[in-house]
Structure 1
Amino acid sequence: MCPGKCALFIAVTLYPLALLSIACNILLFFPGWNTKYVKDGHITQEVKYMGGFIGGGVLVLFPALYIHLTGVRGSCGNRCGMFFSIVFAAVGVAGAVYSFSVALLGFSNGPLCKSSSMKWETPFKESHLAYLTEYKSWSHCIEPKNVVQFNMGLFITLMVASVLQGLLCAGQIINGLVGCLCGTCNKEEEA
């Protein structure tokens, strides 16, 4: 496949993943589908790090836009443009790594919730992921309702999205190197 067309494919694939990451991070601010927890500051700490919004969202969306321009025929689709797409793709990899790290941390620590002792805490922080299979322990979180499943689902989605983003951006780094060395298949290629 021509490096320019490959860049276009990568960019178009990165768009929905970046938007998914942003959406997941925003949803994590509303456990139990309620705004009162964010108003009261009862949000899992890792959500505040904005890994999905900043890392998997913004730091992937900007490279996707540039990579898209690189793949569009006649617009930055030259050797120099392909070189800069490598730099942007590296930023995308860094964003994906940040998003994955924050999501993994949030997943392993578990949610912030009002426990059966009636205080806000992170009851699964020291469980070393054992809480994932101990479904009965989830009842320790009495508020917000179903917060364990809510956080697990969104953090897993963020991890999967960030792995895909990282792979796609790494693929663009390789594609950019090929485009720098061999050209982009554009007839009007500039030096």
Structure 2
Amino acid sequence: MCCSVGFARSLGLALLPLALCCIVAHLLLLFPMGEITYVQQDRLASYILYCGGLGGGGVLMLVPAVVFFTLGKCGCCWNESLMMCGSAFAAMVGLAGACYCFVLSGLTLLQGPQCFTAMGWTYPFANEGGTYLLEPETWSKCLQPLHIVEWNVTLLCVLMGLAVLEFIICLVQLCSGLVHAVCRPCCYKQEYSLNA
């Protein structure tokens, strides 16, 4: 029991800073250069408002992080199989959150920022299929907010990287939880039959 529970707790401890980093990164996306006027005037890329980093990679990821970290600390009324089964369900919540964060960050990258150009407020890179990412010389189309393309690309790439790490951690715990939930009762039956 100690090994599987201890492993899950260490994974929960690893998830906590990742979730907090996702929340911070998304908050920075909502307030480019620390200004609140763009969110107030609805001048942000539309996918940012779906809160992929804040909700999926952040708040939703706190569920498995807390479950993993507190595993076995609530008393001895739960056996290990039930605890591992509960951690597997929490891991599935985490997988969903990580996928949500990754997909929305990717869609936002493809769409590009909403910014003020010579044509007014528009999405100058929306129809380019993300090719603008390889053409930094075109980023100067965006006049306001200043350096918005660099700001978005950096933070969205950070969110995608964090989402991948969260996905891997939750997948590892899902597999571990399922293996321990299924195999542990079998081991107990074997031990009981040997001792009988």
Q: TM-score, normalised by structure 2?
A: 0.87
- Residue identity over aligned pairs, in percent, reads 35
The structure where helix makes up a greater share of residues is 2
1:90-129 mapped onto 2 (5 Å cutoff): 90-117=92-119, 119-129=120-130
1:148-163 mapped onto 2 (5 Å cutoff): 148-163=149-164
Counterparts of 1:77 and 1:65 in 2: how far apart (Å)?
19
1:15-164 mapped onto 2 (5 Å cutoff): 15-70=16-71, 72=73, 78-117=80-119, 119-164=120-165
Q: Which letter does structure 1 place at the counterpart of 2:94?
A: G
Counterparts of 1:77 and 1:7 in 2: how far apart (Å)?
15
After TM superposition, the runs of 4+ consecutive aligned structure 1 residues lying more than 4 A away are 71-77
Return 5+ residue gaps in structure 2 as ranges: 185-196
Counterparts of 2:16 and 2:157 in 1: how far apart (Å)?
19
Counterparts of 1:44 and 1:143 in 2: how far apart (Å)?
13
Over aligned residue pairs, what C-alpha RMSD do you find? 1.9
State whether residues 91 and 170 of structure 2, in contact with CA within 8 Å, keep that contact through their aligned partners in structure 1.
yes
Higher relative CO (Cα under 8 Å, sequence separation at least 6) belongs to: 1
Q: TM-score, normalised by structure 1?
A: 0.90
Distance 1:143 1:7, change over 3 A: same
> 1:73-113 deviations in whole A, cap 9, x for unaligned?
95657211110110110010001000000000001111110
> 1:124-169 deviations in whole A, cap 9, x for unaligned?
1111221112122111100000000000011001100001101100
Larger Rg: 2
State whether residues 72 and 83 of structure 2, in contact with CA within 8 Å, keep that contact through their aligned partners in structure 1.
no
Q: How many residues align?
A: 183
SS at match of 1:32: helix
Distance 1:77 1:163, change over 3 A: farther
State whether residues 57 and 97 of structure 2, in contact with CA within 8 Å, keep that contact through their aligned partners in structure 1.
yes
- Structure 1 stretch 13-22 or stretch 25-34: which is displaced more? 25-34
